[in-house]
């Protein structure tokens, strides 16, 4: 039986989204009613579409079997995307074996926040999600595909591809992951070296050696950041094959899962098993995704991305939904930075199949949803190799390591990893799953900065000698594209380790790697929009209370001040920022997903 709070939140989302969802479904149904589009193209159009198809040219021109469009984020610079190099050839071969065809429809950009952390390029990061959605739309605009295969893994790539899949909701969508790299230097050891470098105890050579030992091969980073939270999300929302998220690249099982994904995509093209993406991406699927986020202690970035993905499918999510679901879903996993294990250890301990089985049994997620393989019940399974094919077996009912995963009845904490914050500073969110309970309430004077480098400079100058709430503003989407401020984590961690009570408040982002320092992030309205955070002054007494969800400036006269304005002209040029000025001008608030494409007027 479904948990009453899960049911109540779902019904609230359905009611709130009724108008937008009805309009979305009407448009999707109209596109579905026209049938597969390839046959409607003129002869010249078809000839252009098939001219480069090589051995598949005649099958495309003369046959009526499905044609799969591949949208890929492949590049060979980034470890998470490099494995996709071999996917198109494998996909085409499997499609031919099934009497069908596949074509690479197009590529989408894939940038790495790990490379751009603290650099100018990070100011393009969030908006790259919307560029990816647009690029995927261009790739599919030729309208010659019966289903789409999306090859994407990391931070903005999966959300952008889901936005595109929703927009092309009249055709099926199957997401094919690449998997995490094998385990390297343990994440806690890497973090310890970073902190020593921040204090000058080790040099850059030692830091580089640690980083290279941690990030050492193809696949996603092994900590539970945004990339791996994305992979969890695709499984919890029924867009991956069961058990496929955390299988390492370049292994026989990984290749067999990719091949099976192609077969499944063909099975759900127009016909008896037709499953368009619009039928998968409904309110219940997004609720399941949020449940997964809370149960695993996933990335705060998804609090931005999920509302944007949902809006593309006519579903309206709010911070209340995240907060209320978090209050109902126990934290079942401890994966770094919320624990010592990495995602490979998590997968070996039972992983997503174990968690989904227990969540369904406990009534904490919807089982009766549409997925690419049927219902969510199929995801309480693990994938194994049987010859060169995949077979699915029931996921273990007992945790293989109760320091990593536990059932809801014996969870690590009774509530999920995220909490909404609200008060006279606006609205924000905090990730509490890695924060010690004694640090869930911080009351201290403010120290205000307009960029993270100034915080680091103050730290190096020894200016932090008392309890402090660091306020870093003009980091929102309108100001500079809302870069991640993950570079502040080592500095603030050192201050906390010195015995100070510290916290961060910002209208910017922290990544899924944000850790043990309490951080109120995504503050909205942002400073560049005249939000309350622009009124804070050095010395203001602030109370951050994650237990009650309150975030208040306690200093008298705060609300009567005029908001500070900042000169943001330096954010307008360099490393491509000139091309994103329209995005900064038209972006919606963080609470609605911070998208320039879906600004929140569709309620």
Q: Which residues are part of a known binding site for [4Fe-4S] cluster?
A: 154, 221
List the one residue out of 245, 183, 218, 247 whose CA is nearest residue 79. 218
* Spatial contact of 389 and 434, defined as CB atoms under 8 Å apart: no
Rounded Cα–Cα distance for residues 539 and 394 (Å): 57
CB 525 within 8 A of CB 432: no
The CA-atom distances, in angstroms, between 48 and each of 44, 53, 123, 302 are: 6, 10, 38, 39
Is the CB of residue 223 less than 8 Å from the CB of residue 188?
no
Nearest partner of 554 among 423, 447, 460, judged by Cα: 423
456 burial class (0-12, 13-18, 19+ CB within 10 angstroms)?
middle
Annotated binding site: 154, 221
The b-or-e profile of 167-205 (16+ CB within 10 A means b, else e) is bbbbbbbbbbbbbbbbbbbbbeebbebbbbbbeeebeee
Q: How many CA atoms lie within 13 A of 23 on its CB side?
A: 10
Distance between CA 393 and CA 381 in Å, rounded?
Answer: 5
Whose tokens are 């809006």? That residue is: 311
Please provide the DSSP assignment of 262-280 as one string: HHHHHHTSSSTT---HHHH
Strands of 147-151's sheet in order across: 101-107, 67-72, 147-151, 173-175
SS3 state at 297: coil
Are residues 303 and 49 in contact, defined by beta-carbon separation less than 8 angstroms?
Answer: no
Is 88 within 8 Å of 55 (Cβ atoms)? Answer: no
Please give the DSSP secondary-structure letter assigned to residue 326.
Answer: H
Closest CA to 225 of 143, 346, 63: 346
Minimal CA–CA distance to 442: which of 554, 587, 361?
Answer: 554
Count of C-beta atoms within a 10 Å radius of residue 208: 12
Nearest to 157 by CA among 182, 135, 141, 179: 135
């Amino acid at each position: 039986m479904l948990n009453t709070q899960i049911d109540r939140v779902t019904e609230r989302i359905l009611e709130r989204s009724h108008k937008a969802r009805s309009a979305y479904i009407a448009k999707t149904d109209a596109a579905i009613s026209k049938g597969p589009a390839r046959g409607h193209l003129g002869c010249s159009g078809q000839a252009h579409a098939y001219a480069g198809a090589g051995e598949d040219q005649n099958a495309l021109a003369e046959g009526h079997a499905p044609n799969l469009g591949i949208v890929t984020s492949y590049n060979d610079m980034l470890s998470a995307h490099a494995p996709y190099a071999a996917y198109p050839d494998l996909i085409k071969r499997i499609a031919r074996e099934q009497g069908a065809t596949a074509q690479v429809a197009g590529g989408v950009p894939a940038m790495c926040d790990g490379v751009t952390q603290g650099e100018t390029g990070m100011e393009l990061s969030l908006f790259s999600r919307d560029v990816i959605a647009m690029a995927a739309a261009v790739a599919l605009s030729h309208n010659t595909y019966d289903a789409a295969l999306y090859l994407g893994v990391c931070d903005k790539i999966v959300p952008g591809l889901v936005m595109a899949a929703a927009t092309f909701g009249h055709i099926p969508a199957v997401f094919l992951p690449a998997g995490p790299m094998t385990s390297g230097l343990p994440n806690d050891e890497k973090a310890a070296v970073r902190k020593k470098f921040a204090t000058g105890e080790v040099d850059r050579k030692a830091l580089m050696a640690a980083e290279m030992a941690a990030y050492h091969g193809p696949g996603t980073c092994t900590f539970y950041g945004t990339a791996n939270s994305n992979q969890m999300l695709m499984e919890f929302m029924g867009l991956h094959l069961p058990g496929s998220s955390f299988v390492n690249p370049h292994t026989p099982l990984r290749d067999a899962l990719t091949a099976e994904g192609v077969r499944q995509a063909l099975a759900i093209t127009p016909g008896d098993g037709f499953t368009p993406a619009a039928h998968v991406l409904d309110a219940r699927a997004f609720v399941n995704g949020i449940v997964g986020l809370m149960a695993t202690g996933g990335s705060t970035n998804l609090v931005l991305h999920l509302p944007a993905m949902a809006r593309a499918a006519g579903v309206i999510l709010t911070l209340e939904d995240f907060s209320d679901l978090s209050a109902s879903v126990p934290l079942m996993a401890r994966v770094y930075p919320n624990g010592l294990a990495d995602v490979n250890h998590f997968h070996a301990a039972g992983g997503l199949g174990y968690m989904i089985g227990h969540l369904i049994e406990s009534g904490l997620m919807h089982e009766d949803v549409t997925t690419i393989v049927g219902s969510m019940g199929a995801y309480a399974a693990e994938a194994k190799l049987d010859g060169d094919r995949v077979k699915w077996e029931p996921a273990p009912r007992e945790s293989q390591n109760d320091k990593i995963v536990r059932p809801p009845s014996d969870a690590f904490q009774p509530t999920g990893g995220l909490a909404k914050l609200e008060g006279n500073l606006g609205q924000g969110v905090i990730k509490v799953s890695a924060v010690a309970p004694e640090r869930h309430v911080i009351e201290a004077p403010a120290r205000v900065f307009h960029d993270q480098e100034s915080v680091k400079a103050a730290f190096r100058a020894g200016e932090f000698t008392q309890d402090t709430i660091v306020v870093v503003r003009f980091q929102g989407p309108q100001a500079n594209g809302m870069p991640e401020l993950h570079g502040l984590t080592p500095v603030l961690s050192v201050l906390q380790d010195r015995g100070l009570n510290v916290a961060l408040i910002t209208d910017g982002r922290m990544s899924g790697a944000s850790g043990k320092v309490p951080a109120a992030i995504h503050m909205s309205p942002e400073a560049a929009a005249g939000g309350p955070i622009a009124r804070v002054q050095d010395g203001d007494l602030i109370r951050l209370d994650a237990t009650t969800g309150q975030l208040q400036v306690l200093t008298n006269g705060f609300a009567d001040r005029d908001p500070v304005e900042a000169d943001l002209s330096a954010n307008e040029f360099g490393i491509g920022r000139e091309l994103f000025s329209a995005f900064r001008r038209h972006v919606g608030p963080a609470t609605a997903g911070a998208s320039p494409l879906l600004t929140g007027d569709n309620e």
